[in-house]
Structure 1
Amino acid sequence: MNFEIPEAVKTWSQFGHPILMWVLLGLSIYALYLGIQVRRTRTADKEIRKELMGKGFNIRHHKVGSILLALMVLGTIGGMAVTYINNGKLFFGPHLLVGLGMTGAIATSAALVPYMQKGNEFARYTHIFLNVGLLVLFGWQAVTGMEILQRIVSKM
């Protein structure tokens, strides 16, 4: 049995990955804001800390981070799947390699959370370092992804 994907689905599926990744880039910036607020809460004096804790920055940061982890992994797999379906191969290059590295970095960052909850400062600083690096790479990926998307559109 040979299952053939309709041409219209193959064509329009190429836009799902870029759209999702742009949404995740914005969500990553929001997660950074929340992370800064969590850090600010942790280092504030008692009166300010009490006020900031009521805003739930830590819970929102954790929830947004969980959504980012899940959607980034699924988006990476989806982008590779759509590329393979449409071209019969993956294009081995910087965009693919950096995307896979980013997926590993976000998974590692999330894996540090239990250690951070126990007060491990090394885990906390590693988490911050990985996520700032991830955001920088995400910006670069957005630019290279748009170049790839322009090549796809020009062939339509």
Structure 2
Amino acid sequence: MELSPSVKYGLNFVHPVLMWGLLLVSLYAAYLGLKIQRTRSAQGEEKKELIKGRYNVRHFQIGSLLLGFMVAGSVAAMGVTYINNGKLFVGPHLLIGLGMTVLIAFSASLSPFMQKGANWARMTHILINFTILGLFTYQAISGVQIVQRIISKA
């Protein structure tokens, strides 16, 4: 089934919009994670007040959504690129995106260990997620450059 040129062109913008949204959601997830750390180290009334925020539940839920949408967005982007060009463009944006997809899966896989109190898993989770945030920032910049090229060719 052949897609119309306008649909093919419009599909180019689904991934960038989704990923910019996920970058913002990632920053919110990081904020929630920091609140969890603060809750863990707090004492007395401060701890009781922080527990009411249910940061751990919200962080877990947001993280689950991030995992699903990041994997789906990565696969969809490769599909759209292939549909529109008949090939994938192997370069830093694709390779870093694939690496981020693997990293977020590893990060999420640490959840059962963290729930059992494994500090090594918690520290690894934090390290992986801040690495993802750094890579995500690079991806946002290189993605804007790609979108500009698509627009200029239209």
Interval of TM-score (by shorter of Structure 1 and Structure 2): over 0.9
> Is 1:47 paired with 2:50?
no
The yes-or-no answer on 1:101 pairing with 2:99 is yes
Partner of 1:29: 27
Structure 2: distance between partners of 1:59 and 1:130: 20
CA displacement 1:43-78 (0-9 Å, x = unmatched): 111321111001111111011101100000000001
Equivalent-residue separation in structure 1 for 2:144 and 2:41 (angstroms): 39
TM-score by length of 2: 0.99
TM-score in terms of structure 1 length: 0.97
In structure 1, what residue type is equivalent to 2:88? L
SS of equivalent to 1:116: helix
- TM-fit CA distance, 1:5: 1.2
Identity across matched positions, percent: 55
Please report the RMSD computed on the Cα atoms of aligned residues, expressed in angstroms: 0.6
Distance 1:50 1:109 in 2: 28
* Structure 2 unaligned regions, length at least 5: none
| SS class of match (2:68) | helix
Q: Which segments of 5 or more consecutive residues in structure 1 lack a partner in the other structure?
A: none
Runs of 4+ displaced beyond 6 Å:
none
Which amino acid counterpart does residue 15 of structure 2 have in structure 1? Answer: H
Count of equivalent residues: 154
- What secondary structure, in the 3-state scheme, does the structure 2 residue paired with 1:10 have? helix
Out of 65-74 and 46-55, give the one that drifted further. 46-55
Match runs of 1:1-156 below 5 Å: 3-156=1-154
More relative contact order, 1 or 2 (CA 8 Å, 6+ apart): 2
1:122 CA drift (Å): 0.5
